[in-house]
């Protein structure tokens, strides 16, 4: 999985998962960038969600999520595993 800034949305990050995911069933606060949890989300693609974090999103900020964050599961039913990394540049 990786995270990148959403084009034209300065406080939004695109979270791309390694499988198609269902919509979150709970708060996305456990999907964090630079210590700031998600406050809202919209579907981007079958494998991606756009999450608003309420802060400017820029490359190299640290991101992390806890296992099962937001109740997100793959379309196959597997739970979201914990992860972390750095925000990638916009593509």
Higher pLDDT: 82 or 91? It is 82
The answer to whether the CB of 2 falls within 8 A of the CB of 48 is: no
pLDDT digits (tens, 9 = 90+) for 28-67: 999 999 999 999 999 999 999 999 999 999 999 999 999 9
Q: How many CB atoms lie within 10 A of CB 73?
A: 17
**Predicted model pTM:** 0.95
pLDDT at position 91 over 80: no
6: DSSP letter: E
| Measured distance CA(70)–CA(35) in Å, rounded | 16
Write down the pLDDT at residue 32: 98
Tell me the domains of the chain and their CATH numbers. 2-86 (2.60.40.1220)
């Amino acid at each position: 999985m990786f995270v990148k800034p959403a084009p034209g949305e300065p406080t939004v990050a695109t979270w791309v998962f390694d499988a198609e995911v269902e919509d979150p069933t709970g708060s996305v606060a456990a999907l964090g960038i630079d210590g700031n949890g998600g406050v809202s989300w919209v579907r981007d693609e079958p494998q991606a969600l756009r999450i608003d974090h309420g802060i400017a999103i820029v490359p190299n900020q640290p991101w992390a999520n806890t296992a099962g964050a937001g109740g997100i599961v793959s379309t196959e039913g597997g739970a979201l595993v914990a992860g972390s990394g750095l925000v990638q540049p916009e593509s």
